[in-house]
Structure 1
Amino acid sequence: MDRLAALELFVRIVDRGSFTAAAADCSISRPAATATINALEKRLGTRLLQRSTRHVQPTVEGEAYYRRCIGILADLEDADRGASGAVAGLLRVDMVGTLARIVLPALPTFLALHPAVTVHIGEGERFVDLVREGVDCVVRAGTLPDSDMIVRHLGVLEEIICASPAYLSEHGVPATPDQLDGHFMVGFVSSRTGQPLPLEFMVDGVKVERTLPARVMVNGADTSAAAARLGMGLVQAPRLRFKDDLNTGALVEILQDFQPSPTPISVIYPNHRQLSPRVRVFVDWLVETIAPLLGRSGYKVP
């Protein structure tokens, strides 16, 4: 295997965390992949990968080499694109399920524009270390912490508060945030703080937060919505998530006159010179295609 192919294999192993998966991606055998990496490490005089029976991850030297390899391959991809006008390769994106519901319906148009690109979508609520985990970009909701990443704002989603009819029948329907005494919320645990997120309201133009008792705490958006349907408490999330529940009556919107501020939606990617062309075209596509679906009034539900 030539040196360029060895670099591509090494990067794919780090991205996939597996010799077997990377070998399959590169259409070579597992033993051939092992031999190639062994030869690469021997030539460099250092160990690049820590192997175990279940997982592979880069060493400190391997992580530094991985970053350099990404830059080299991105430059080559840029050169190829300049000659052919096409982009190719695996694009790793991370987003929460609510945002995936916005992006997925439009994704076929992106794939049709770039048939040589494969998109891997990871779903999670936690913070993602893009460089260490080999993720190309993430789409996130909410106010973002300061970092050296590039952030491009896409728009906002309207937030609402809901509860099941059974819950409201038992606990009453609050007319204002001051009437929330005796109510419960489904505690959505923040991946950043480890604590349940408070409910947010706008009262006379001022944001007010209330943390209610929670008999059930979760860290997944789907589980949070399911718990609300079962009458376990009030829940707050983008209107998009509850569209079907509101239409069927499984959930009822409350406190409409005190809706919190819309949640900002952003795409984040590493700040370095060798940004992969496939990341660049995907981010540009998000801005051009997804951003128009968002606005001050939230997602334009069809």
Structure 2
Amino acid sequence: MDSLGALSAFVQAADARGFTEAGRKLGVSPSAVSKAVGRLEERLGVRLFHRSTRTITLTAEGSCFLERCRRILCEMEAAETELTQTQTEPQGKLRVSMPSMGILFMPKFAAFKRHFPRIEMELDFSDRLVDVIDEGFDAVIRTGEPADSRLMVRRIGSYRKVLVGSPAYFEQTGFPKQPEDLAGHAGLLYRYATTGKLDRWPLRRDGELVDVPIQNSVVMNTLEPQISLAEQGLGLACIPDLAVRRQLRAGTLVSVLDDFLPDTTLLNVLWPSSRNLSPKLRVFVDFAVEDMLDP
């Protein structure tokens, strides 16, 4: 702590270009600042200031040392702020972006909100790749491997696609055993709102994608209608397994061709690395990692 005090005295003296003003800001005498800087110079073995009767100016060594000192003191201040914030109740606005499938997690978000009522949630649902920093989000939930080095990341979990239909539907059509058996089946398809492209069913054989000869029965750009229409027996839907866990347990939907759908997709929470982990952000990241994918 003596070293930090000497660094602070040095930085204040450099900014004020004098020991008197530095002492006033630090609440000590000018001679105390001068002695602290002198002891620092003696320990370092270099002169940090050129001194005259009226003013002080940095030496070349002092200029280099000043920038490092600023960073050290800023890190110390940030650490103290972070520790102090852990003792305060999480509050304030929290802007979160997530893919459209994030609607599935609303019961979890409701529990989070009840637990932290002073956090004002602003949720953005979009399948486009948002710019977390430029668009001012505190955190984002995203699929796949993160590619932005400006962001911190923690793994939430993973999921895979399943091909599902209702028991009544399969009573009429029979259960497909191979991807080619899907010829003539009714497809309940997802279209990405940002690109206009249909979501491709990732069926694979020996690691290679298999073209699926399905009929486009209904096309939509949200997940819940796919699940509902599949339960009503109107066709097959290829959707994340975490979206239909309840329906699969209840038997209102049945999955087929599981062996041909081996791919898994990562789900992460990301936030700007330049941003202090405030109480509201800290509890949200912990919630996303620990609770969001729980059944």
Distance change (3 Å), C-alpha of 1:287 and 1:247 = closer
Give, in whole Å, the separation in 2 of the partners of 1:83 and 1:275. 12
Match of 1:92? Answer: 95
CA contact (8 A) 2:162 2:239 kept: yes
Q: What amino acid is the match of 2:190?
A: F
Match of 1:246? Answer: 248
Match of 1:237? Answer: 239
CA contact (8 A) 2:112 2:287 kept: no
Deviation, structure 1 residue 285: 0.7
Distance change (3 Å), C-alpha of 1:274 and 1:146 = closer
Deviation, structure 1 residue 220: 0.5
CA contact (8 A) 2:155 2:289 kept: no
Q: What amino acid is the match of 1:252?
A: V
Deviation, structure 1 residue 255: 1.2
Deviation, structure 1 residue 196: 0.7
> TM-score, normalised on structure 1?
0.58
Deviation, structure 1 residue 236: 1.5
Structure 2, gaps ≥5 residues long: 1-76
Q: Please give the secondary structure, in 2, of the residue aligned with 1:155.
A: strand
Match of 1:277? Answer: 278
Match of 2:187? Answer: 185
Give, in whole Å, the separation in 2 of the partners of 1:227 and 1:197. 17
Match of 1:173? Answer: 175
Structure 1, gaps ≥5 residues long: 1-75, 294-298
Match of 2:12? Answer: none
Give, in whole Å, the separation in 2 of the partners of 1:289 and 1:203. 34
**Deviation string, structure 1 residues 110-169 (Cα, Å, up to 9, x no partner):** 864x6643333344444434345433212123x257445524322212431101233323
Q: What amino acid is the match of 2:165?
A: A
Q: Please give the secondary structure, in 2, of the residue aligned with 1:187.
A: strand
Match of 2:155 among 142, 153, 156: 153
**Deviation string, structure 1 residues 151-205 (Cα, Å, up to 9, x no partner):** 432221243110123332333321011322222321211245321111112433x
Match of 1:261 among 260, 263, 268: 263
What is the RMSD of the two structures over their aligned residues, measured on CA atoms? Answer: 3.5
Deviation, structure 1 residue 225: 1.2
Once the two structures are aligned, what percentage of the paired residues are identical?
23
Give, in whole Å, the separation in 1 of the partners of 2:150 and 2:210. 29
Distance change (3 Å), C-alpha of 1:236 and 1:104 = same
Q: What amino acid is the match of 1:92?
A: R
Question: Larger Rg: 1 or 2?
Answer: 2
Give, in whole Å, the separation in 2 of the partners of 1:108 and 1:181. 43
Give, in whole Å, the separation in 1 of the partners of 2:186 and 2:270. 34
Q: What is the 5 A alignment of 1:1-302?
A: 82-83=83-84, 85-86=87-88, 87-96=90-99, 98-99=101-102, 101-102=104-105, 104-105=107-108, 108=111, 112=115, 116-141=118-143, 143=144, 146-150=147-151, 151-204=153-206, 206-211=207-212, 212-271=214-273, 273-275=274-276, 277-278=278-279, 280-282=281-283, 284-286=285-287, 289-290=290-291, 301=295
Distance change (3 Å), C-alpha of 1:270 and 1:200 = same
Q: How many pairs are equivalent?
A: 216
Q: What amino acid is the match of 2:95?
A: R
> TM-score, normalised on structure 2?
0.59
Q: What amino acid is the match of 1:120?
A: E
Q: Please give the secondary structure, in 2, of the residue aligned with 1:200.
A: coil
Deviation, structure 1 residue 233: 2.5
Give, in whole Å, the separation in 2 of the partners of 1:168 and 1:300. 30
Give, in whole Å, the separation in 2 of the partners of 1:125 and 1:223. 17
Q: What amino acid is the match of 1:89?
A: G
